[in-house]
Structure 1
Amino acid sequence: MAFVLYLVLILVFTKVAGDLAVRLGQPAVLGKLIVGVILGPAVLGWIPSDSSFIHEMSEIGVLLLMFIAGLETDLDQLRRNWKSALAVAVGGIILPFLGGFAVAEVFGFPHNYALFMGVIFSATSVSISAQVLKDMNKLNSREGTTILGAAVVDDVLVVILLAVMMSLLGTGADVSLGLLIGKKVLFFAVIIVAGWLLVPRFMKIFAPLRVTEATMSAALIICFGFAYFADIMGMAGIIGSFAAGIAISQTSFKHTVEKKLEPIAYSIFVPVFFVSIGLNVSFEGVGQQIVFLIVLSLVAIVSKWIGGGLGARLTGFNNHSSIAIGAGMISRGEVALIIAATGLEAGLLQPEYFTSVIIMVILTTLVAPPLLKYLFREPSVVKED
């Protein structure tokens, strides 16, 4: 029954910490992320980082979080900003990749390790940013939809970049780039067709069933089904759940699903996800790499911020909006954690530097919420030149 105690600790501490963060003028999610660090091995050690129960609950949490983001996304706004989303994603990959490679080279890493560090820097996870934007009612702003769209493109490009690097560096010689890209194309083709033709029909057939919460069950089937399909096609599951949310948002069931889903997600699953990010922190051996960690984190933050911001500026956003969009891309979150673990297993990330990389990922995730809170509270964020 240890997992029940973990849930009690997570729910109590995240709600109290979230309230405290809001009272201090910060987004609630910042307090929840810090709770993970405090409850985990880094400080108190009350919750282990290797708990399979916490991991699986957090997986559901992030899927529901991005499903809600999809439900609340303005699809027309997303269509209008696809060029900006592409530019932000590309800028947010090129500059961080060069930054990560440069840092590793300066600290004497062999070339293959330096290249992989660039891949880790290129990752983006906007699940945290999406929560902050939602709390501030900015998710449907032009900036918000650009950030969400850029995250989808970023995920595709980084997965391809990872496969190319692993193939070139000899740890994945059997990786077929053509097959990889083909799977991505097939994924989007199937998701678009399913979202357009099958989702509305499925909801209409399933919702009238004379059982408890048939509509919600139908929505969750679509959410998790899309997420699983994304995973087997080599994409992040959050892209599938985000697409599921967009598909259901185009039906008459949108408001019903949204109203009933939020209590489920935010009462238990999403708090577990926020805490799980912090549980990965461990300060063991970091004292000997403190300079490396500081440089690594600063370059990770600045390169993604500038890279994403430049992409936005070049596609018509004003300076303030560009800075805000760049800030929304800073968080590496669970995507970078997965890439780092993959690199460690494949021999492309030195074990002695794994902890420093994980702390860098956590720091980028902690920095993003207060930056977004500050930048998006400015009225000029919604104006254009």
Structure 2
Amino acid sequence: MQELSISLVLIAFLAIAAPLAARSLERVVKIPIVVFEIVLGMALGPSVLGWIQSTDFTDTLADFGLAMLFFVAGNEIDFALIRGRPVLRASGGWLISLAAGVGAGFLLAPTPTSAIIVGVALSSTALGTLLPILRDAGESRSAAGVAVTALGAAGEFGPLIAISLFFSGRQLGPATAVLLGFVLLAALAVFLASRARHTLLHSQVTRTLHTSGQFAVRSIMFILTVLVVLSMVLGLDMLLGAFAAGVLWKVAIARAPERDRTVIEAKIDAVAFGFLVPVFFIDTGIDYELHALTDSPAALALVPLFLVLLLVIRGLPSLLAVPPRSSSATKRAIMLFGATGLPIIVAVTSIGRDQELISSAVSAALVGAGMLSVLVFPLLALRQLPRKSTGTTAAEHRGHGRVPEP
């Protein structure tokens, strides 16, 4: 109990320290907060100081944080904005990335299942991490932002499909049938939600928006829990359910008054980025097996190799989603954004490590490359895009209802 108490206090402290550290350096270099969360968790975890120990409770909170991150991603995707050319080209690019990633996996891993794990990791894009960065930069509705959103949707939904097919414990045929059943069920729920007026839901949300009832937040947690549990019962990855829950909530609340939607989005940000998501990234740092890299020069050399492979295997196919008549700088930015990956990498390598399909060294190298991609690629990408004034950016965000702090 004492160990758990100390860990909880230190994790809460790191959640405060991370944005302060990011703020202190932002005049020199703008580093995503998630990088500080992971690095601080690593520094205080067993790999370095050993002050924080991972427990079942903190791991459960981290799982909720990861689910909330994918809920936010599903909730924020504007499918009307990315439909047609952006999503079709992004999906085509993801299929190329998956094929190339699995091919690279066969060269680096000894078995087909290991190759698939490496391929899925290298074909992912961290949409949940990129969306706050795009919003802060005022690029979420620009042509480049739409392309990156489409890439992120394909780069998160596609790997979730692959994980559910290949690592559900079933044969490929039954796994496909179960997956299709879940997708059809979720699609039916979204369709019915889009047709209904939800008068009772919206009135109850409005009535309790500023009271202890908080019907909107409770409804979100209910939808998230139901779809996550359903996906787990069916042997699918829980993140598929979390992503579907975000899409379902977005449709259900779409016809609510804009003022209410703005308040609800702020509450989602508060729960996600103020509590659960930081716990996930800090716990990722705590669980990171740094010794697996430092004990083996060969494993350490895999980190820059995987980083380059992310840029080649995921970044280059992302150019398919580039808007017509884009400048060379915009193309470079989209390629760098597309190659940014971490949450899926953490999820799929955890599965591989738990099932003893990949070594701790390969897992640590993939996660290390993912962390470096989050640190380096968005910074380089933002420098390629034209700068916008702070006033314009804030006004654009208010026009779309949110100015979050990731």
TM-score (norm 2): 0.77
* Distance (Å, rounded) in 2 between the aligned partners of 1:293 and 1:119: 19
Contact 2:89 2:321 in 1 (8 A): yes
Maintained 8 Å contact 2:41/2:285: yes
Q: Is the 2:122–2:313 contact (alpha carbons within 8 Å) kept by the matching residues of 1? A: no
Structure 1 residues 95-106: aligned runs within 5 Å:
95-104=100-109
Q: Corresponding residue for 1:314?
A: 320
Written as runs of structure 1 = structure 2, the 5 A alignment for 1:148-297 is 148-159=152-163, 162-163=166-167, 175-198=170-193, 201=196, 204-209=199-204, 212-233=213-234, 234-237=236-239, 238-248=242-252, 250-252=254-256, 254-294=261-301, 296-297=302-303
Report the secondary structure of 2:124's partner residue: coil
2:382 paired residue number: 376
Q: Does 1:362 align with 2:368?
A: yes
Contact kept in structure 2, 1:119 and 1:162, CA below 8 Å? no
Aligned residue for 1:47, secondary structure, equals coil
Percent sequence identity is 19
Post-superposition shift, 1:347?
4.5
Distance 1:347 1:191 in 2: 32
Contact 2:315 2:339 in 1 (8 A): no
Letter in 2 for 1:115: A
Quick check: 2:189–2:248 contact (8 Å CA) kept in 1?
A: no
Instruction: Give 1:143's aligned amino acid.
Output: A
Cα shift at 1:161: 6.5
Change (3 A) 1:35 1:138: farther
Deviation at residue 298 of structure 1 after TM alignment? 2.5
Partner of 2:14 in structure 1? 13
- Give me the whole-angstrom Cα distance separating, in 2, the residues matched to 1:189 and 1:273: 30
With 152-161 and 85-94 compared, the bigger mean Cα shift is at 152-161
> 2:69 matched to which residue of 1?
65
Q: What SS class does the counterpart of residue 216 from structure 1 fall into?
A: helix
Cα offset for 1:194?
Answer: 0.9
Counterparts of 2:238 and 2:21 in 1: how far apart (Å)?
32
Which deviates more, 252-261 or 317-326? 317-326
Which consecutive residues of structure 2, in runs of 5 or more, have no partner in the other structure?
Answer: 389-406
When structure 1 is superposed on structure 2, of 9-18 and 207-216 the one drifting more is 207-216
Corresponding position of 1:132: 133
Give distance in 2, aligned partners of 1:207 and 1:4: 40
The answer to whether the 8 A contact 2:68-2:272 is kept is yes
Q: Deviations over 1:39-95 (max 9, x none)?
A: 21111112223x111111112222223323333332211213211220231132122
Alignment partner of 1:284: what SS?
Answer: helix
Contact 2:339–2:377 under 8 Å retained in 1: no
- In structure 2, the residue matched to 1:22 is 23
Misfit runs of 4+, over 6 Å: none
Unmatched runs of 5 consecutive residues or more in structure 1: 105-109, 167-171
Is the contact between residue 318 and residue 334 of structure 2 (CA under 8 Å) also seen in structure 1? yes
Is the 8 Å Cα contact of residues 61 and 280 (structure 2) preserved in structure 1? yes
TM-score for the superposition, normalised by structure 1: 0.81
Which residue of structure 2 lines up, in the alignment, with residue 324 of structure 1? 333
Superposed CA RMSD: 3.2
- 1:195-220 CA distances to partner (integer Å, 9 max, x unpaired)? 23137759543454576111221222
Change in 2 beyond 3 A, CA 1:254/1:260: same
- In 2: Cα distance, 1:156 partner to 1:17 partner: 29
Partner of 1:339: 348
Partners of 1:281 and 1:355 within 8 A in 2:
no
Q: Spell out, residue by residue over 1:183-237, the C-alpha distance to the aligned partner (whole angstroms, 9 max, x if none).
A: 2222222222212313775954345457611122122212332333334441442
| Residue 6 (structure 1) shift | 2.5
| Structure 1 CA distance for aligned equivalents of residues 314 and 250 of structure 2 | 24
State the number of aligned residues: 363
Which residue type is aligned with residue 300 of structure 1? F
Please state how far the C-alpha of 1:346 moved relative to its aligned partner.
4.1
Distance 1:309 1:119 in 2: 14
